[in-house]
């Protein structure tokens, strides 16, 4: 998708590809198409449909008990996308996780994903660590489940925490994050509000384990006898209560007046999320203040700021990315020289221009916005495939062609064009496969045939090594271990390359045990250097996204990925701001 003089009327599609879930590299997860609800569609950016009945029976605080920060429903844009699952322990869809983060709590949560700042959520404080293998969590005594059936406002207990972890270790393979819980040796409830977790070995990411995107605490009443948690049973203990979810259209929540988070939060009465169809709808919504905030690309942001100079810009790099991967058991991708040639010949900077209107960046393996772990750009710019400027690009091409010549001196390529399997929605929206095909033809003279297909079909081909060259979108992660262990360790559950490298295994295992963060970061750098040397696949580019907000919106949370929208509890609307006048 290239830049255009006027962005009006363009279809909203690019970030939807990334936001819908863990696509290409999350190959262990099924991604069947979800059924669409039959509820009527509201007028875009109009008031959310009023749900039947009051979703909470808890009495609201009297107006005198609330501050001037309280009140109003925030209306913003986003993606109302999900995969085949709605259970918070099974779905891998970023937008749904984000919505659920306002409903369900975790023991711990992230205040800043890029920097890795963790704080207490359901836990009264960070866990006690009497020894490297033991974590003692004490539940906030004020924490209660939403006052909705079947929980009816009962206290959150340590038994709920134990249930939430054990259900993911039940052996049901649809609990895709079971491997991360395998480090837990035992769970002992010592009182209704305390649980002791014993680990099998010390792990550096112990706190992250309980703050991770899928570490929601759920109640046994929601999933009796191994049942899944359905859309009509999204009852948690978080700052907001579930109201509705209509695929690809709208979603909303409303304030939980009994939330335990303190400071009489959340401040907002509710949040309405709308998935727009075109950029003209976004502009119209902001102009009329039917939208308070819109998350947009760089070109549309610049256009809107010229038209509405009062808008405030927030920007953040997003860890979601476009990637390629190879099957190391298939010719010609089982030859290091051929993988090097293809990877180095790809013009990532052209991709940033085409896909993100120039607002993005290049990554080693860990996406560049995850500043805590990503390899420094100063080092990256001297690596083949990443060199800047015309001279850097020429050097990349020389080395890519030399690698291909070395390969061809001993081996031959198939007579037919090499198939490149691409997620079909990605290809139709931005032409990812076509861009890769054209770049490799121009740089190396390779003949590539683009084969678009549904994600669910591509997943199966990846697992059976029948998609030796594939491209698509993927979500990003927070902790270093999540970026490397599942995908590049020999025992990793998502290592469908499959890569077997003892030196890399040793580095990955070592970072898991390294408790000194600086030393662990250095190990992360070594791991990424090794991945760049082996080229089993590549994280190509990630976008820098922009949120445009009216000045009356305060503390709008924006971070490197979805999953921590619980921070909307601190967002508020300042009705005294002059720009609030005229808001519907």
| Alpha carbons 38 and 283: distance in angstroms, whole number | 28
Predicted confidence at residue 45, as pLDDT, reads 37
Yes or no: say if 498 and 517 are a contact pair by the CB < 8 Å rule: no
* Topology of the domain covering 69-294+546-580: D-Maltodextrin-Binding Protein; domain 2 (3.40.190)
At 159, the pLDDT band (50, 70, 90 cuts) reads: very high
Parallel/antiparallel/unpaired status of strands 537-549 and 572-573 = unpaired
Question: Tokens standing for 577?
Answer: 């701001």
Predicted confidence at residue 37, as pLDDT, reads 32
Mean pLDDT on 347-363: 95
Distances (CA, A) of 342 to 230, 338, 362, 431, 582: 44, 6, 16, 18, 55
H/E stretch holding 545: strand 537-549
Give the whole-number percent of the chain exceeding pLDDT 90: 76
Instruction: Tell me the DSSP string of 397-462.
Output: HHHHHHHHHHHHTT----SSPEEEEEEHHHHHHH-HHHHHHHHHHHHH---EEEEEE-HHHHHHHH
At 24, the pLDDT band (50, 70, 90 cuts) reads: low
Predicted confidence at residue 475, as pLDDT, reads 81
Predicted confidence at residue 81, as pLDDT, reads 86
Question: Tokens standing for 502?
Answer: 């003892």
DSSP 15: H
Predicted confidence at residue 94, as pLDDT, reads 84
Query: Is 90 exceeded by the pLDDT of residue 507?
Result: yes
Q: Convert the pLDDT of each residue in 28-73 to its tens digit.
A: 333 222 322 333 233 333 333 333 333 333 334 444 457 899 999 9
The closest alpha carbon to 75, from 294, 261, 242, 228, belongs to: 294
At 82, the pLDDT band (50, 70, 90 cuts) reads: confident
Query: Is 60 exceeded by the pLDDT of residue 460?
Result: yes
CB atoms < 10 A from the CB of 20, how many? 26
| Alpha carbons 255 and 272: distance in angstroms, whole number | 12
Predicted confidence at residue 214, as pLDDT, reads 81
Query: Is 70 exceeded by the pLDDT of residue 171?
Result: yes
Predicted confidence at residue 176, as pLDDT, reads 84
H helices present in 445-568, as ranges:
455-463, 480-488, 502-513, 517-534
At 26, the pLDDT band (50, 70, 90 cuts) reads: very low
| Alpha carbons 436 and 571: distance in angstroms, whole number | 41
List Cβ neighbours of 171 (8 Å cut-off, separation of 6 or more).
none
CB atoms < 10 A from the CB of 185, how many? 12
Query: Is 50 exceeded by the pLDDT of residue 565?
Result: yes
Give the whole-number percent of the chain exceeding pLDDT 70: 89
Predicted confidence at residue 474, as pLDDT, reads 86
Is residue 186 exposed (0-12), middle (13-18) or buried (19+ Cβ within 10 Å)? Answer: exposed
Mean pLDDT on 384-393: 96
| Alpha carbons 466 and 451: distance in angstroms, whole number | 12
Mean pLDDT on 499-505: 97
H helices present in 274-322, as ranges:
279-287, 298-307
Q: Convert the pLDDT of each residue in 418-458 to its tens digit.
A: 999 999 988 998 999 999 999 999 999 999 999 999 987 99
Listed in order, the ranges of the chain carrying CATH 3.40.190.10 are 69-294+546-580
At 281, the pLDDT band (50, 70, 90 cuts) reads: very high
| Alpha carbons 221 and 150: distance in angstroms, whole number | 7
Residue with tokens 């899928």: 214
Mean pLDDT on 153-174: 95
At 312, the pLDDT band (50, 70, 90 cuts) reads: very high
- Say which range, 118-132, 169-183, 264-278, 348-362, has the weakest mean pLDDT: 169-183
Query: Is 60 exceeded by the pLDDT of residue 23?
Result: no
* Topology of the domain covering 321-543: Dipeptide-binding Protein; domain 3 (3.10.105)
Q: Mean pLDDT score of the chain, rounded to an integer?
A: 88
Mean pLDDT on 357-361: 94
**Helices (H) then strands (E): counts for the chain:** 17, 20
Listed in order, the ranges of the chain carrying CATH 3.10.105.10 are 321-543
Query: Is 70 exceeded by the pLDDT of residue 20?
Result: no
Mean pLDDT on 456-469: 90
Mean pLDDT on 555-561: 91
């Amino acid at each position: 998708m290239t830049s255009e003089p006027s962005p009006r009327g363009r279809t909203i599609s690019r970030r939807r590809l990334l936001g819908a879930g863990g696509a290409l590299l999350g190959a262990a997860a099924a991604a069947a198409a979800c059924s669409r609800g039959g509820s009527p569609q509201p007028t875009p950016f109009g008031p959310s449909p009023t749900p039947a009945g009051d979703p909470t029976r808890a009495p609201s605080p009297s107006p005198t008990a609330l501050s001037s920060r309280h009140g109003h429903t925030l209306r913003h844009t986003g993606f109302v996308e999900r995969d085949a699952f709605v259970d918070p322990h099974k779905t891998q869809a970023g937008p749904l996780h984000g919505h659920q983060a306002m409903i369900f709590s975790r023991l711990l949560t992230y205040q800043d994903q890029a920097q890795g700042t963790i704080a207490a959520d359901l836990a009264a404080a960070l866990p006690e660590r009497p020894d490297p293998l033991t974590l003692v969590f004490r539940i906030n005594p004020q924490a209660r489940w939403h006052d909705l059936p079947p929980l009816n406002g009962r206290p959150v207990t340590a038994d709920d925490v134990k249930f939430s972890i054990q259900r993911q270790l039940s052996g049901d393979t649809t609990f895709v994050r079971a491997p991360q819980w395998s480090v837990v040796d035992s769970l002992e409830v010592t009182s209704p509000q305390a649980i002791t977790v014993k680990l099998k070995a010390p792990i550096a990411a112990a706190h992250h384990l309980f703050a991770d995107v899928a570490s929601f605490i759920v109640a046994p009443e929601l999933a009796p006898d191994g049942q899944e948690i359905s859309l009509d049973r999204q009852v948690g203990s978080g700052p907001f209560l579930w109201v509705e979810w209509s695929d690809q259209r709208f979603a909303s929540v409303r304030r939980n007046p009994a939330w335990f988070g303190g400071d009489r939060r959340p401040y907002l009465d509710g949040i309405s999320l709308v998935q727009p169809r075109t950029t003209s709808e976004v502009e119209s919504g902001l102009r009329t203040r039917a939208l308070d905030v819109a998350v947009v690309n760089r070109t549309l942001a610049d256009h809107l700021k010229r038209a509405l100079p009062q808008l405030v810009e927030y920007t953040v790099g997003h860890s979601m990315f476009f990637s390629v991967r190879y099957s190391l058991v298939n010719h010609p991708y089982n030859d290091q020289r051929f993988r090097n040639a293809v990877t180095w010949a790809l013009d990532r900077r052209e991709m940033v221009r085409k896909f993100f209107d120039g607002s993005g960046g290049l990554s080693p393996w860990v996406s560049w916005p995850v500043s805590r772990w990503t390899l420094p750009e100063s080092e990256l710019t001297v690596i083949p495939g990443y060199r800047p400027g015309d001279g850097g690009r020429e050097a990349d091409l020389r080395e890519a062609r030399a690698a291909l010549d070395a390969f061809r001196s001993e081996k031959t390529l198939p007579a037919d064009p090499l198939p490149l399997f691409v997620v079909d929605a990605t290809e139709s929206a931005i032409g990812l496969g076509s861009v890769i095909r054209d770049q490799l033809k121009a740089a190396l003279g390779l003949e590539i045939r683009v084969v678009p297909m549904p994600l669910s079909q591509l997943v199966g081909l990846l697992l059976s090594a029948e998609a030796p060259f594939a491209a698509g979108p993927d979500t990003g992660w927070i902790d270093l271990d999540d970026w490397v262990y599942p995908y590049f360790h020999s025992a990793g559950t998502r290592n469908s390359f499959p890569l077997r490298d003892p030196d890399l295994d040793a580095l990955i295992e070592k970072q898991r045990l390294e408790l000194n963060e600086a030393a662990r970061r250095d190990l992360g750098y070594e791991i990424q250097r090794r991945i760049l040397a082996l080229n089993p696949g590549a994280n190509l580019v990630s976008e820098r996204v922009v949120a445009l907000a009216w000045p009356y919106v305060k503390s709008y949370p924006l971070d490197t990925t979805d999953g921590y929208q619980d921070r909307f509890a601190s967002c508020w609307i300042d009705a005294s701001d002059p720009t609030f006048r005229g808001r519907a």
